[in-house]
């Protein structure tokens, strides 16, 4: 029997993925499955640009609001969850539409996931202590000596991935690159149509990022972070609080920065995230890219998708 088809809609942050996804739901038999490592957290709505209740009525999203910010969620968790969601959508006679910017999750879905050692709090604390002394650039330099391949794709300003890559080696004696080389390419029970949306000019994306951050601040982003901080069981090194924007506003509430500096740092961190996402996409095989500013973006994307499904 012919495999079912899933559509993967990727793109950098603030490129217009959600808007396009909603139009595809309105004009095609699609159901949205989120591929976003921040949208999984409950109570983190404004800073993650989570779809509001009105949008969710029109286009329900799966895999959002599924865990508490105190919990962790890995690529392996995503793979386990998304396969079940895809099967459920297909059983309803609909087309799964995977939408998001967490490229690590899309990559795990496409290429499989190497079985790596579990996290060690002790090892992580040692890496963080080293980073506090020498900075994350020093940690990146260490990784470059141990695993140059991983170091080449991980930016020095990406502490979470840097920490994980070094942690894997310190625990196992094997680099992350070696683990990936050993993995067997998995056979998925469905075929993937990969599309992406992004503006052709980087300046347009930067403008959108700044505008969206300003809107989030007006909508109460700082109050949202303050409520999370007031819980008392969360801290700045949790994956949830490391999400762009949250970390910077948390540091403001800790008295480390002025609010203006925190906002500037949040915007810069978001631009850096977008840059990493674009780097992933440039190396993506068989990817059809659409311009965010196209007057008939939804029509163009829908025409391409339908041509591939038939």
3-state secondary structure of 70: coil
Is 196 found in the same domain as 178? Answer: no
Is 57 found in the same domain as 43? Answer: yes
Identify the domain boundary among 161, 182, 203: 182
Contact 150, 205 (CB under 8 A): no
Return the number of other C-beta atoms located less than 10 Å from residue 259's C-beta.
13
Higher pLDDT, 118 or 187: 118
Sequence-distant (≥ 6) Cβ neighbours of residue 151 within 8 angstroms: 140, 143, 144, 165
Q: Find the domain containing 77 and state its range.
A: 5-113+184-309
Is 72 found in the same domain as 215? Answer: yes
Is 126 found in the same domain as 59? Answer: no
Contact 136, 154 (CB under 8 A): no
**CATH number for 220:** 3.40.50.300
**pTM recorded for the entire structure:** 0.81
Sequence-distant (≥ 6) Cβ neighbours of residue 68 within 8 angstroms: 41, 42, 43
Question: What mean pLDDT comes out for the span 134-149?
Answer: 94
Identify the domain boundary among 164, 182, 200: 182
Confidence tier at 115 by pLDDT (50, 70, 90): confident
Q: Tell me: the pLDDT tens digits for 221-268?
A: 999 999 999 999 999 999 999 999 999 999 999 999 999 999 999 999
State how many domains the chain has: 2
Is 33 found in the same domain as 71? Answer: yes
Whether pLDDT at 186 is above 70: no
State both tokens at 300.
Answer: 């163009």
Identify the domain boundary among 182, 204, 221: 182
Q: Give Cα 16 distance to the centre of its chain.
A: 15
Q: Look at residues 246, 187, 236 and name the one whose alpha carbon lies nearest to residue 45.
A: 246
Residues linked to residue 196 through DSSP beta bridges, in sequence order: 10, 289
């Amino acid at each position: 029997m012919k495999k079912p088809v899933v559509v993967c809609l990727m793109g950098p942050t603030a490129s217009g993925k959600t808007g396009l996804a909603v139009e595809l739901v309105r004009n095609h038999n699609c159901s949205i499955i989120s591929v976003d490592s921040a949208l999984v957290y409950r109570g983190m709505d404004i800073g993650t640009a989570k779809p509001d209740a009105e949008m969710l009525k029109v286009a329900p999203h799966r895999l959002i609001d599924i865990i508490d910010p105190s919990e962790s969620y890995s690529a392996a968790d995503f793979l386990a969850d998304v396969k079940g969601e895809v099967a459920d959508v297909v059983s309803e006679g609909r087309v799964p539409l995977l939408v998001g910017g967490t490229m690590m999750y899309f990559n795990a879905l496409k290429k499989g996931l190497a079985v790596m050692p579990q996290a060690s709090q002790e090892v992580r604390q040692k890496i963080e202590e080293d980073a506090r002394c020498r900075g994350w650039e020093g940690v990146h330099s260490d990784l470059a000596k141990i695993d140059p391949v991983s170091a080449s794709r991980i930016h020095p300003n990406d502490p979470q991935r840097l920490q994980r890559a070094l942690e894997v080696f310190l625990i196992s004696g094997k680099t992350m690159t070696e683990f990936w080389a050993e993995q067997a390419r998995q056979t998925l029970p469905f075929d993937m149509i990969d599309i992406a949306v992004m503006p052709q000019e980087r300046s347009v994306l930067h403008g959108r990022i700044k505008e969206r951050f300003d809107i989030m601040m007006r909508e109460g982003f700082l109050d949202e972070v303050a409520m999370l901080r007031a819980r008392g069981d969360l801290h700045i090194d949790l994956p949830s609080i490391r999400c762009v924007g949250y970390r910077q506003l948390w540091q403001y509430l800790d008295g480390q920065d002025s609010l203006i500096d925190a906002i500037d740092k949040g915007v810069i961190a978001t631009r850096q995230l977008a840059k990493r996402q674009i780097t992933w996409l440039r190396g993506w095989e068989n990817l059809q890219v659409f311009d965010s500013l196209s007057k008939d973006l939804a029509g163009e994307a829908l025409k391409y998708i339908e041509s591939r499904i038939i």
